[in-house]
Structure 1
Amino acid sequence: MAKASAGRSALSRQILLLDSFSTNQPFLTISQLSRRSGLALSTTHRLMAELTETGLTERLDDRTYRLGVRLWELACRTPGAIGLRETASPYLHDAHAVIRQHVQLGIADGRDVLFLERLSMQDAVVSSTIIGGRLPLHASATGLVLLADSDPDALADFLAGALPSYTDATIHEPRALRAALADVRRQGYAVTDGHIHPSARGVAVPVVGAAGETVAAIGAVVPNDSQPWLHIVQTLRTAAERTTTALRAAARPASDPDASPGGRYRALVHSSDQSMEFLSRDRPIRQ
C-alpha cells in the first residue's frame, strides 16, 4: 500500500514527524514515529537523524526520541503567540493572585483554542488546559469568546463541522451555539458551567488588539458551585484591558511619545521599562 506521505517535500515529512509527538506521548521510538507519520521506516530513521543533528529532536539512551529544546528556543522568537503571551503575562499573574484557581490565555487556531499560558494552584479545581494544548472552540468559555468575533462566513463553516461533547452540558447543536454566541456578544464575556468537566466552570473575556479586533481571550477555570462569579469577570476584564493597552503601545513606532520605551520590541519581549529601553538600542556585537 502506498504511503500517505508520497509526493511530500522533505520539510513536510519532518513536520509530520514533529507532529507525531503529543503531551500524552512525548517519547516515541522510530517504529512508533513511522506508524504515526505514515512514513517508511527507512525514511523515518533518516529524517529523525537530521532533526536530532539540528537539535529539533533529542535521542535518549533507551532509543526513544523527544522534541528538542531547540524547538522551544525558536518558538520563543515568534512575535505573534509568544509576544502576546509576554505582553499579557504580568496582568495574567495579577488576575491569578486574585482568583487563585486556573487563569489562561488562548488564541483561535483553526477549530480550536490554542492555549499560550496557564497559571494554576496546587489545590485548584480540575482543568484540562495545558500550555500548548488545545480545546474545540465551542466547548470552552475561552473558545466561545473567540468564536463570537468570527465573521458570518467563518462561523457558518465552523457550524457545518462536528461539535463534539465532553459532558451533557457541552453545546453540540448549531442553533444552541448561535444563541450562546449572541449572549457572549451582548454581555462581553462567556460562562460555561460543566462543559468540559462537571466540576469546573469556565469564565472568559476578550482581549482586543490595536485595530479593535479580538486577538485572544483571557479565561479562568473555577469550581462549578453556588459561589458568585461575576467578580471574576471584572478581574479578567481588568487583565484584558491592561493587555490591550500594552498591545496598542506596542503597535506604535518607538518615536511616538505615547509608546512605551523600546516600543518596537514590545511585540516580542515584555520586561521592565529600563530593560525595554536598553533592548531598543542598537548595540555593537562583540566578535
Structure 2
Amino acid sequence: MTGTEPRDNVLTRAVRILEVFDADHRSLPVAAVARRAGLPTPTTYRLVGELVELGLLEKGSDRQVRVGLRMWELASRSSETVGLRDLAMPFMDDLHAAVRQHTQLAVLEGDEALYLERKSARGAEVVNITRTASRLPAHACSSGLVLLAHASAGVQERVLAGSLRRMTPLTVTDPAELRRLLAETRYRGYSVVRGWVHEEAAGVAVPIWGADGEVAAALSVIIPNEDGRAAAVIPALLTTAHGIGRALAAGSRSPTPLAR
C-alpha cells in the first residue's frame, strides 16, 4: 500500500477482487480478475500480491489465483451461519433421503438469498442452478420469498423498489403482485414458485424459526415443475424445518461455560 492511497479505498478494492470469485469462476488469471473487478491491471496485480501474502488468495502453478484457505478459516471461525449450517445438516440429510430431490438452506443477505448448503440428488429429475455459497435475487426464488415474507417492512420495500431481475419469462417482477405473494406466504407458511429460476423447475420453501421468534433461514426443495408435486414435499419440509428450529432453540438454552 502507498501512503497516499486512502485506507478505505484500498479495502474496498480488495473486497471487489475477492468478490469476483464464485462457483463459475473458482480460479482466474490476474488480468481476468482486473476486468471482473473493474480495476486497473497494475492495481489488481499489486493487491492480488498482497492478498496472496496474507493467505486470502492463492496462486497456482498455472499462474491463476483462487480464494485461499486462510479466507475459509477466518469465515469458519466467526460466522453464525456456520453453526446454523452444521446444526441443520443432519436434518437436511434425512429430508434429502426422503424426497430424493435437491435440498437447500438459505439466509437473507442484503437483497439476495445466500445458500449456505445445497445437497444434490444424483437421481433428481430437474436442474438446480444454485450451489453452496451462491446467491439468487430474493424476489425471484422460493427461499427468498419466505425470507422476505418474514423480513421487516423496510427490507421488503427496499427490495421491491429496487431492480427486480427477471430470470425466466415466468419470474414475477411486478411489485404489487410480489406484495400479494409475500402476504400469501406468511399466511400459508410456505412458498411455491414455478419456473421462476428455471422453467422446468419449481421451488418449495418453508421458514426455519430461530430461538428469538424470528425466521433464521429458509429450507427448500427443488422439484419438477408439474402439478401436484409441491403438495407431496410440503409436509416433509415443514417437519424438517420444525426439527431444525427446535434444535436452534435447544442450543440457545445451553448453559454458558464458566470462565476459567
Task: Tell me the distance in 1 between the aligned counterparts of 2:28 and 2:37.
Answer: 12
Mapping for residues 72-151 of structure 1, pairs under 5 Å: 72-124=72-124, 125-151=126-152
Unaligned runs of 5+ in 2: none
Task: Tell me the distance in 1 between the aligned counterparts of 2:247 and 2:150.
Answer: 21
Task: Tell me the distance in 2 between the aligned counterparts of 1:193 and 1:40.
Answer: 42
1:185 to partner: Cα distance: 1.0
Q: Which has the larger radius of gyration?
A: 1
Question: Contact conserved, 2:140 with 2:171, CA < 8 A, in 1?
Answer: yes
SS of equivalent residue, structure 1 residue 61: coil
1:281 to partner: Cα distance: 9.6
Partner of 1:216: 217
1:71 to partner: Cα distance: 1.6
- Which structure: greater helix fraction? 2
SS of equivalent residue, structure 1 residue 76: helix
Given residue 102 of structure 1, which amino acid in structure 2 is its aligned partner?
H
1:143 to partner: Cα distance: 0.7
1:168 to partner: Cα distance: 2.4
Question: Contact conserved, 2:139 with 2:159, CA < 8 A, in 1?
Answer: no
CA deviations 1:99-146 (Å, max 9, x no partner) are 101000000011100000011112311011100000111111111100
**Stretches of 4+ aligned residues off by more than 6 angstroms:** 280-283
Partner of 1:231: 232
Distance 1:65 1:236, change over 3 A: same
Residue 163 in structure 1 maps to residue 164 in structure 2: yes
Question: Contact conserved, 2:20 with 2:37, CA < 8 A, in 1?
Answer: yes
Given residue 83 of structure 1, which amino acid in structure 2 is its aligned partner?
G
TM-score normalised by L of structure 2: 0.91
1:36 to partner: Cα distance: 2.7
SS of equivalent residue, structure 2 residue 123: coil
Question: Contact conserved, 2:149 with 2:186, CA < 8 A, in 1?
Answer: yes
1:282 to partner: Cα distance: 8.9
SS of equivalent residue, structure 2 residue 133: coil
Task: Tell me the distance in 1 between the aligned counterparts of 2:119 and 2:254.
Answer: 32
Partner of 2:66: 66
Partner of 2:197: 196
CA deviations 1:207-252 (Å, max 9, x no partner) are 0011110110000001112344323111111111111111111212
1:64 to partner: Cα distance: 1.3
Mapping for residues 7-22 of structure 1, pairs under 5 Å: 7=6, 8-22=8-22
Aligned residues: 254
Question: Contact conserved, 2:100 with 2:123, CA < 8 A, in 1?
Answer: no
Task: Tell me the distance in 2 between the aligned counterparts of 1:113 and 1:194.
Answer: 17
Q: Considering only aligned residues, what root-mean-square deviation do their CA atoms show, in Å?
A: 1.9
Task: Tell me the distance in 2 between the aligned counterparts of 1:230 and 1:186.
Answer: 16
Given residue 89 of structure 2, which amino acid in structure 1 is its aligned partner?
S
